[in-house]
Structure 1
Amino acid sequence: MPPTTHLPSPPDDPSRQEQEWIVQKYGGTSVGKFLHVIAEQIVPSYLANNKVAIVCSARSGQTKALGTTNLLLQAASEALSPPSAPPTPGPASLSNSLASLTTGTPNSQHPAPASVVRPGSAFARRSSSRSTPTRSDSLALSSTVLDKKLNSLKLEGGTPKPSSNPQPNGSADETATKDNEKRVQEDEDGLVSSDSESEAVIGYDATVDRIMADHIDSVRKAVTRDSDLRDRLEREVVEDCERLRDFLMAAKIIEEISPRSKDIIIGVGERLSCRIAVGALLDAGVEAELVTLENIVDPSFSSHISQDAQGEITLDQTFYDQLSQALGERLRSCRGVPVVTGYFGNVPGSLLSQVGRGYTDLCAALCAVGVGAKELQIWKEVDGVFTADPRKVPTARLIPSITPEEAAELTYYGSEVIHPFTMEQAIKKSVPIRIKNVENPSGSGTVIFPDVPAGHAGSEDKLVDGHLTQPQPPPSTPQVSAVDANGKGTKSVSSSKNAPNLPERKLPTAVTIKDNVMVLNVHSNRKTVSHGFFAKIFGTLDRYGVVVDLISTSEVHVSMAMTSTIRTRTLEKLKAELEKVGTVSVLRDMAILSLVGRHMRNMVGVAGRMFSVLAEGNVNIEMISQGASEINISCVLHERSAIKALNLIHYSVLEVSPKPSNLESGNFGRSFF
């Protein structure tokens, strides 16, 4: 029975032209674990009333640490590593297996598919060095034996299981076939063939083999209905990996990988991921098209690039505006669902250097701006943004909507929301961003949009790091006198207490924790403050490239909270430099607790309540800081008290119904005091 189709209308259909765009970005773990949900449920559900474009990251398995991008960076590093002694023959790699397969005769019951090996590639050269088959044999790959090798391939090590090959009696041709199969089996088991030496695959070759095996296995799980489509995708995956292998071999020969070369290497991950996503959509009956962006950056964009005296390149906003326009034109020309690689080509100064690992999110935002999307959806494995980490705070609740300022603060101080620069590109063009859960597609998620009414004057200037306005004082509340029950004395009460419609209680938005923090204290050794005290401190930090998360100062003392992942040698040099201007001390194993909320600008007493709750819970505070935006109050405390403090603040400050901040605040509250 053919699969149900969800084909969009032709591009010239007027109703199709009037539909608005939705751009969906899927992370690596979403593509790796939930591709069937994306292809069969999520995308078809949105295609009924919208035009959909998809941006995919390089796929990951269970964790990002073992994801394709990390493996590609590992392969790049291995290509420049000095050669090591070959290991003892062990589990056969996929490359060795594929090379050995060229010596055999294709099974008559399973005809070999079309060529997957490019003549002259590293793969082909390795194959030809092991045997001397005919050209047609060297370009043929038996899918049956490839299945065996994928099943027996041990990515984590171990002994391969020999496959059983029946040896029937027959003609001379059958005898030749049996000899070939025996030679293949010997090669698979790591034995030395009579006509070639043992060739163990190590270094970047093994890493490329691992990437290839993982993606071929993913193709077979994603495409289950159309065998021709599956075979074609397998050939394309092998082709991409062999191109990567050639590229790494060239880098090894010249002993250099430039920043641009590293961009090209990591771009292979998005290409492979998007190929499989296209295959899954086509297999589910959804018309889709692969959109690669290696050449999307036009040379004319270079007129909007500035370069400082040190040669560092900076891309201005005009560059991103032109790029988004080019992306929009490219997406509109697609007939089906565009599946876009997050890697977008030859960016001046290197994509990793200019944007970093979050370039896929930025690409999705620029696509959304280019097509004027009504929404940019970031699909994760969480329902949205919560008032606290639900893994640490049982009572954390989903936040329906937050402002870009709040999202930026939460992202910086521990909650992974979305990169602020990526968010700025979409928000400044009034494209709302929705965080959704790939495991719960029907959920509403969390929407990020400026807290500015539509058409409000100055709304276009309200950016993520936008202009600060002078906060208005809270409205004065009329006070009336009341006599107590005994008629003795009076007390002041608010007249709004008797108002029929009580205003909604304003609360902070969320509380978050950032771990792995240390505090660097510098106390001036001068009785009178020198004008160069602060300049010397921050100049030293700049020379060593140290980023400060929080800072608190007095006339003679500076406390700075920063990540504790600084290398020990760098920290020792930094301390030695700073000791020239004062006494230096370091507090380790600390954490930053941040209370974030746009209503905090006009909330009287929120800081006092926050610190009172921590004091009643016996949580010691080492440092306090509040940003100029007045939507974030942060403090530094010991890491062992972080979870306790997080729950205390959430229970006493962020709960919808007011809670007393004392020991009688219920069983849940008492357990933390």
Structure 2
Amino acid sequence: MKLIMKFGGTSVQNAESVRRAVDIVYERYSRQDRLAVVVSARRGVTDRLIACAESMVTSRDADEVADLVTYLTEGHLTTLKEVAPDFYPETSEIIIRRIENLRDFLHAVYHLRELTVRSRDYITSFGERLNAPLISAAFRQRGIPSMVLDGCEAGILTTENHGDAIALPAGEARIRSRLEPVIEHSVPVITGFMGCTEKGVVTTLGRSGSDYSATIVGAALDADEIWIWTDVDGIMTTDPRMVPEARVIPRISYIEVMELSYFGAKVMHSRSIEPAMQKGIPVLVKNANNPGYPGTVIDGGEKKDSRVVKAITYIDKVAAVTITGAQMVGRPGVARHIFSLLAEHQINVMMISQGSSEANITLVIEANQVALAMEALSPLKERCVFRDITANEDVSAVAVVGSGMAGMAGTAGRTFSALGKAGINVMMITQGSSEVNISFIVRQQDGPRAVKVLHDEFNLMNDEG
């Protein structure tokens, strides 16, 4: 069996968790599976790297760099000594050399007072580049042949949009040619989250970047399965902090996961799913602290179940921006102008609703982007493209997700009837043409209650719907 395993930051954050990861890999290696492992930075490291890099642009002194160097050195070398004592001398030298490289680069940022997007990507990639040698040494300590490859060496080729790069199809053959010979006799440990452009410039892959790395590699190698190791038992029916009765979903489709991710659920990012979806490779989300638990299988959804709705997700920090004016009616290009300006200012629109009269358009965006959106659209108001623009930040977005809704009459009726009985007013509704989700906004204080009401309505706390 050909397996790609990705270990998240919480799954490799200390000696105890690294040993568990080694046990997991050894169990499959002993079965003579062909394996490749993708690793994230240790929990909290990337945030520290970003904070220090940004601080160097304005800081009066570079003391933070010394603090960061101490934090990284002590954390990684202490764990290394515990999990791979036989390989400590050679591996610690690699880690120290990389930390020194990082230190010098941060000092350069401090002296130049400039942090470019390229520099930021280079700096933030160090979390993975420090952790991968440690994990590989732990494998070798256990008797598993292993070597380290960063994302560039593994062949991950990306676009040049730093901080949010996308894998290029041309990289697939490179990955295959570089990794296929390796996995025949060794377990490569690949740095997640990073790749490089055709010119060899380091890029990072954005949110859930290490998951994305794993599915890129898995698709290129035509893996049998991709396993994502995290600190939860799988994908949940909703956030258990809001609904304690939430349970793990045993099986879910690619498209359902993409919808859940888009609407705020802390699952694999939709971009991370695409490579696996294109090749039809199952993705398993499993708990490294509870490896015997089956977790969640993400696949094409060929095996149907009786459940119409799979999960409820919720975003609380959103705002509804409403654009109104009779002058928009029958005027071609208004929407194009609106969305072009928002795109130029990097404002993501989560939901859209337009009245049949064309006299108003409501957009749901992140709450922290309201001021920017108002400023971006003000030129259109000045040119009388519309009459007024208002923002309501006292809202939250809820999405009901399930591929079983497609073609199934009555789901929307059940949803809004249940909310009505609970006295929850729905302020805006959208449904995609795929019919996999129904999303809407309510008052912010009603959001958690709406999730609870719908979780109960569709009986998601039980194994059978």
Pick the TM interval, shorter chain. 0.7 to 0.9
The reply to whether residue 70 of structure 1 matches residue 47 of structure 2 is: yes
Counterpart in the other structure of 2:11: 30
Matched, 1:564 2:367: yes
Query: Relative to total residues, which structure has the larger strand share, 1 or 2?
Result: 2
8 Å CA contact 1:434–1:445 kept in 2: the answer is yes
Q: How far has the Cα of 1:578 moved from its partner?
A: 5.0
After superposition, what is the alpha-carbon deviation per residue over 1:447-493, rounded to whole angstroms, capped at 9, x for unaligned? 1111348xxxxxxxxxxxxxxxxxxxxxxxxxxxxxxxxxxxxxxxx
Name the TM-score, length of structure 2 as normaliser.
Answer: 0.88
1:601 is matched by which residue type in structure 2? A
Closer, same or farther in 2 for the Cα pair 1:524/1:352, shift >3 Å?
Answer: farther
Match of 1:609, SS state, is helix
Shift of 1:344: 4.7
Question: What's the counterpart of residue 573 of structure 1?
Answer: 375
Residue 549 (structure 1) aligned with residue 400 (structure 2): no
What displacement does 1:281 show? 2.4
- d(CA) in 1 for partners of 2:178 and 2:370? 40
SS in 2 for 1:428: helix
Match of 1:208 in 2: 69
Given that 2:152 and 2:202 are in contact with CA atoms closer than 8 Å, whether structure 1 keeps it comes out as no
Q: Deviations over 1:222-273 (max 9, x none)?
A: 34xx3x4334433332222112222333444455444333333222221211
Higher relative contact order (CA 8 A, sep 6+): 2
CA 1:365 to 1:533, structure 2 compared with 1: closer, same or farther past 3 Å? closer
Which of the pair has more CA radius of gyration? 1
* 2:249–2:296 Cα contact (<8 Å) kept: yes
Match of 1:240 among 98, 105, 119: 98
Q: Does 1:430 align with 2:280?
A: yes
The letter of the residue matching 2:169 is: T
**Alignment pair present for 1:631 and 2:433:** no
Shift of 1:83: 3.1
**Distance change (3 Å), C-alpha of 1:602 and 1:326:** same
Q: CA deviation at 1:572?
A: 4.2
Alignment of 1:251-290 (within 5 A): 251-290=109-148
Contact between 2:102 and 2:126, CA under 8 Å: does it hold in 1? yes
- In the alignment, structure 1 segments of 5+ residues that lack a partner are 1-19, 61-66, 85-200, 308-312, 454-502, 660-673
- Tell me by how many angstroms 1:26 deviates: 0.6
Please list every run of 5 or more consecutive structure 2 residues that lacks an aligned counterpart in the other structure.
Answer: none
Asked if the contact 1:78/1:204 (under 8 Å) is kept, the reply is no
Distance 1:402 1:46, change over 3 A: same
What is the distance in 1 between the residues matched to 2:352 and 2:71? 45
CA contact (8 A) 1:591 1:639 kept: yes
Quote the offset at 1:208 in angstroms.
2.2
- Match of residue 52 from structure 1: 35
Distance in 1 between residues matched to 2:132 and 2:160, nearest whole Å: 33
Are 1:601 and 2:459 counterparts?
Answer: no
Q: In the alignment, what sits opposite 2:259?
A: 409
Give the CA deviation at 1:220: 3.4
User: What is the CA–CA distance in structure 2 between the aligned matches of 1:291 and 1:339, rounded to whole Å?
Assistant: 6
Once residues 658 and 318 of structure 1 are traced to their aligned partners in structure 2, the CA distance between those partners, rounded to angstroms, is 40
Match of 1:328 among 179, 184, 197: 179
Amino acid in the other structure paired with 2:12? V
Q: Is the 8 A contact 1:516 1:591 kept in 2?
A: yes
What is the deviation of 1:441?
A: 0.1
Asked if the contact 1:215/1:272 (under 8 Å) is kept, the reply is: yes
1:613 matched residue in structure 2: 418
TM-score under structure 1 length normalisation: 0.62
TM-superposed deviation, 1:351: 5.3
**Aligned 8 A contact 2:194 2:203 in 1:** no
Deviations 1:404-462 (A, max 9, x none): 11010001111122122221112212221111111110111111111348xxxxxxxxx
Tell me how many residue pairs correspond in the alignment: 453
2:60 maps to which of 80, 83, 90? 83
Amino acid in structure 2 at the alignment position of 1:322? A
Q: CA deviation at 1:506?
A: 3.7
Correspondence for 1:518: 319
Secondary structure of 1:274 counterpart: helix
Aligned CA distance change for structure 1 residues 542 and 281 (closer, same or farther; 3 Å): closer
| C-alpha spacing 1:419/1:393, structure 2 compared with 1 (3 Å) | same
CA distance in 2, matches of 1:208, 1:577: 47
| 3-state SS of 1:207 partner | helix
